[in-house]
Structure 1
Amino acid sequence: MSMMEQHTGSDHDRLTAVIGMGKTGQSAAAFLLHHGLACEAFDEKRVEVPRELDMPLHIGKLKAADLQRFSRIIVSPGVNWNHPALVEARNSGVPMYGDLQLFGEQYHGNIIAVTGTNGKTTTVSLIGTLLDTLPGGIEAGGNIGTPMLDLLGDEEPARVVLELSSFQLERAAPIRPRWAALLNIQPDHADMHADAAAYRAAKLRLFANQGEGDKAMLPCDVEWDALADELRGRGVYVRRFGVGYPETMDCGVQMLPNGSWQLFWHHYEIPEFISSDELPSRGVHQHLNLAVAAQAATDFGVSISVVRQALTSFRGLPHRLQSLGIVAGREWLNDSKATNPDAAIAALKSFHQVVWICGGLRKGLDVSVLKEAVASHVEHVYIIGKDPKPFVELADAAGVPATFAKTMEQAVKLASRSQAGLSVLLSPAAASQDQFANYAERGNAFVNAVKALEAKA
């Protein structure tokens, strides 16, 4: 029985609280109102909502006592699940969910779902592009761009591809994706989950409901072998990806003796290859995402020629190892989406030597894990943000000179005077909220600072 069927009593019985009035919260409220279900909105920050969302809006500190009168609570993914008021409300028995719960109850088509710490948006975007060539097309949403409930219009799409965060997965009964991929699990969001185990458990909920005939894509690492065996025991067809060989995994990147590599995936039992030189996007980690997308598309019947054309024309997404071209005699790369150390390590390893701009809000993560990558690939470190000390200590441990530039504009100016010819990479290894609203605003500040250099040239 779905939520819509459960709540058939009086208006009071059906009253829903929606916590967090960002894009997802507004989407959930609009969905409920469209289905004739009364709701009220809560946000601790002063926000404005569209006029058509005709409902009470409560601004201010969230209190459990204010939530007791609701029959259920929908929590936006950006709101901490462990907020004291929410914990108290849950403990008192008030049902509490996220938007994925509503979506899973209402949608009846084929779900392709992707989760992971890094690479979700690139993979989902490319899957969406590729499968849109099939009859009936595909709609993309979730943690990317369009909130998933917005995909449920008057005519249900035949298939959807969802980018799912740990926050969305932990706040819903498990869905059943026909094709699901786990890209990676790396330290992140330490401030939003009880611990690393809770973060991992949230991600793995993606596979909890899969069964006979479904497909699951997992990294080709030993730590995922037990999950692979469990899924096979349920009749799931398990695929594996990584850096290796087409004889031992379904898709990934194969390193060649000359130091270059090629991307591969399988069409039935036949491996398909594309040289890294043919791919406009750069970086092994980016190409792993492309390989997963290629395999997903092929599994759903997209032709090899279409997959090849898409991969060889895909230039990547903004703020993800995005080349800004040659300015002031060097290439500039915007990787502002690298909000944790593992993402920055992957970016740094894409270069022999690079000038590195980093820093920001660490979210409790240890940046010392970057030491080897910094020592091997960085010529000079320019640090931004309000907490430079950990990055200064990292550079010192790696034996690389560092300069605290504080602001993005100053970092770009200083980097433009560094060793001639070396590329400059913004890959912060930290979140942005100490100086910017989000990673996109930070990336745009980098882009604008580089454009200012070009204007002076």
Structure 2
Amino acid sequence: MSTTEPHMSEQLTAIIGMGKTGQAAARFLLREGMACEAFDEKKVVLPEAIDVPLHIGKLKAASLKRFSRIIVSPGINWDHPALVEVRASGIPTYGDLELFGEHYHGDTIAITGTNGKTTTVSLISTMLDTLPGGIEAGGNIGTPMLDLLGDEQPSRIVLELSSFQLERASQIRPRWAALLNIQPDHADMHADAAAYRAAKLRLFAKQGEGDKAMLPADSEWNALADELRGRGVYVRRFGIGAAEELDSGVQLLPDGSWQLFWHHFHIPEFISSDDLPSKGIHQHQNLAVAAQAATDYGVSASVVHQALTSFRGLPHRLQSLGFVAGREWYNDSKATNPDAAIAALKSFHQVIWICGGLRKGLDVSVMKEAVASHVEHVYIIGKDPGEFVKLADAAGVPSSFVKNMDQAVRQASMSQDGLPVLLSPAAASQDQFSDYAERGRVFVDAVKALEKKS
């Protein structure tokens, strides 16, 4: 079905997927005086300002072959049969990141990884905004990147980049780039784990002399580090280790406490983990990466200290809700895969754990050790609890399947005295909620309801 008749043009762009990103692409092309048409398999209504032909219905390669190029939104599967066919026919097909790379001429800072991107980008944006000219943030967070490119381009932009954005771009060359981690996720949107990894690593494909790259300290990234150095890239490493060996990260002190560190030129800067309002070693590593990025761009050590010690975390990311009904509650709804939930569980000695949801084909049994060591009781939500029940049994931890979030919160509030309660689902949310944010809000509301009763 089409809401308007197609027309022919040698310089005509098709935009596939008319959500937030697709609409931003259309606005950008119209500002640049470029003709485009919109496609979506779902029924959508475009804002009046986006006056372009809109085609609704099943995507077919035959309908796309009259276009000179095709822009595909991140939410559209790159391996959609129609897109595979048009790419094979030689029609340039890419995403909004490619357009951004073609048209933006300032400094790009880019962050990717399975977990931690939004926290890191938010902190970098906060700290670099203190510099002359400031900074804009966008991409997979907040403002679509093409909406940042007006008549006067920002001097700096920090982008949160997903694997979906990276897999369909070749022009991006960030001056400062960080890979936070690669963990199993998005099995439903990539051919396999190798394809997911390859998409993430495209972040560094165009880097060269004078650029900076931040990589995890794990040995699996040594070969990439050597390759980048061979191109003239300044490579930094971060993780858990000593400040004498790494550029930034967290280190364990002899008394058993932890401290975060980064380097101001060659001088290490330290903050005790006890002075950081945000919780979790994995979170503190993200803070350390942000601190190093800010320092590399000239932000003073005092501003970095102030930013880190005042940062309380973002909603749905190991967010403390305070003490209610005699215990502390934590909203980590953004933990949509097992690795993210493992990191959250390891932030506690013992915890009451609420988990479950849409597994996306991921194996939750990898959580056995963390659950056995850190969980007192498991409350399982979601329409497919079987694998989580098996996980709890294998870990030797009692579990309860509950119908909904309200029931999970009520029962958790009556668990062993004093233990904190953690929502860290290790699964996506779409079996019961629209997204992880709605799941988190429902959890917060249920905890607030307890407070009113107490």
Q: Give the TM-score normalised by structure 2.
A: 0.97
**1:305 aligns to what?**
302
Select the residue among 123, 128, 143 that pairs with 1:131: 128
**1:398 aligns to what?**
395
Counterpart amino acid of 2:317?
R
Select the residue among 224, 230, 239 that pairs with 1:233: 230
**1:204 aligns to what?**
201
SS at match of 2:401: strand
SS at match of 1:41: strand
Runs of 4+ in 1 over 4 A off after TM superposition: none
- Once residues 244 and 423 of structure 1 are traced to their aligned partners in structure 2, the CA distance between those partners, rounded to angstroms, is 28
- Once residues 35 and 295 of structure 2 are traced to their aligned partners in structure 1, the CA distance between those partners, rounded to angstroms, is 43
Deviation at 1:259, TM superposition (A): 2.7
Select the residue among 154, 159, 170 that pairs with 1:157: 154
**1:364 aligns to what?**
361
Counterpart amino acid of 2:248?
C
**1:253 aligns to what?**
250
**1:317 aligns to what?**
314
Mean Cα deviation higher: 114-123 or 57-66: 57-66
Counterpart amino acid of 1:390?
E
- Contact conserved, 1:174 with 1:206, CA < 8 A, in 2? no
- Once residues 342 and 387 of structure 1 are traced to their aligned partners in structure 2, the CA distance between those partners, rounded to angstroms, is 19
- Once residues 60 and 382 of structure 1 are traced to their aligned partners in structure 2, the CA distance between those partners, rounded to angstroms, is 41
Counterpart amino acid of 1:348?
L
Deviation at 1:66, TM superposition (A): 1.8
> Is 1:99 aligned to 2:96, yes or no?
yes
**Structure 1, gaps ≥5 residues long:** 1-9
1:10-409 equivalence runs, <5 A: 12-409=9-406
- Once residues 387 and 81 of structure 1 are traced to their aligned partners in structure 2, the CA distance between those partners, rounded to angstroms, is 28
- Contact conserved, 2:102 with 2:171, CA < 8 A, in 1? no
SS at match of 1:88: helix
- Contact conserved, 1:174 with 1:208, CA < 8 A, in 2? no
Deviation at 1:43, TM superposition (A): 1.4
- Once residues 176 and 448 of structure 2 are traced to their aligned partners in structure 1, the CA distance between those partners, rounded to angstroms, is 42
- Once residues 356 and 255 of structure 2 are traced to their aligned partners in structure 1, the CA distance between those partners, rounded to angstroms, is 34
Deviation at 1:330, TM superposition (A): 0.8
Select the residue among 397, 411, 414 that pairs with 2:411: 414
Deviation at 1:451, TM superposition (A): 1.0
Deviation at 1:86, TM superposition (A): 1.2
- Contact conserved, 1:242 with 1:288, CA < 8 A, in 2? yes
- Once residues 247 and 419 of structure 1 are traced to their aligned partners in structure 2, the CA distance between those partners, rounded to angstroms, is 43
Deviation at 1:93, TM superposition (A): 2.1
- Contact conserved, 2:321 with 2:328, CA < 8 A, in 1? yes
Deviation at 1:71, TM superposition (A): 1.4
Mean Cα deviation higher: 141-150 or 173-182: 173-182
Deviation at 1:297, TM superposition (A): 0.5
- Once residues 99 and 171 of structure 2 are traced to their aligned partners in structure 1, the CA distance between those partners, rounded to angstroms, is 11
SS at match of 2:124: helix
- Once residues 83 and 449 of structure 1 are traced to their aligned partners in structure 2, the CA distance between those partners, rounded to angstroms, is 40
Deviation at 1:375, TM superposition (A): 0.2
- Once residues 122 and 332 of structure 1 are traced to their aligned partners in structure 2, the CA distance between those partners, rounded to angstroms, is 20
SS at match of 1:254: strand
**2:451 aligns to what?**
454
Mean Cα deviation higher: 289-298 or 35-44: 35-44
- Contact conserved, 1:214 with 1:237, CA < 8 A, in 2? yes
- Once residues 303 and 259 of structure 1 are traced to their aligned partners in structure 2, the CA distance between those partners, rounded to angstroms, is 29
- Contact conserved, 1:11 with 1:38, CA < 8 A, in 2? no
SS at match of 2:330: strand
Deviation at 1:406, TM superposition (A): 2.7
Counterpart amino acid of 1:221?
D
SS at match of 1:346: helix
- Contact conserved, 2:113 with 2:162, CA < 8 A, in 1? yes
- Once residues 171 and 188 of structure 2 are traced to their aligned partners in structure 1, the CA distance between those partners, rounded to angstroms, is 23
Deviation at 1:11, TM superposition (A): 6.4
Counterpart amino acid of 1:131?
L
SS at match of 2:434: coil
**Structure 2, gaps ≥5 residues long:** 1-6
**1:7 aligns to what?**
none
- Once residues 43 and 450 of structure 2 are traced to their aligned partners in structure 1, the CA distance between those partners, rounded to angstroms, is 37
Deviation at 1:206, TM superposition (A): 0.6
- Contact conserved, 1:174 with 1:205, CA < 8 A, in 2? no
Counterpart amino acid of 2:396?
G
SS at match of 1:406: coil
- Once residues 157 and 348 of structure 1 are traced to their aligned partners in structure 2, the CA distance between those partners, rounded to angstroms, is 40
- Contact conserved, 2:13 with 2:71, CA < 8 A, in 1? yes
- Once residues 345 and 124 of structure 1 are traced to their aligned partners in structure 2, the CA distance between those partners, rounded to angstroms, is 22
- Contact conserved, 2:8 with 2:66, CA < 8 A, in 1? no
- Once residues 95 and 230 of structure 1 are traced to their aligned partners in structure 2, the CA distance between those partners, rounded to angstroms, is 28
SS at match of 2:127: helix
- Once residues 247 and 80 of structure 1 are traced to their aligned partners in structure 2, the CA distance between those partners, rounded to angstroms, is 44
- Once residues 185 and 326 of structure 1 are traced to their aligned partners in structure 2, the CA distance between those partners, rounded to angstroms, is 34
- Once residues 367 and 401 of structure 2 are traced to their aligned partners in structure 1, the CA distance between those partners, rounded to angstroms, is 18
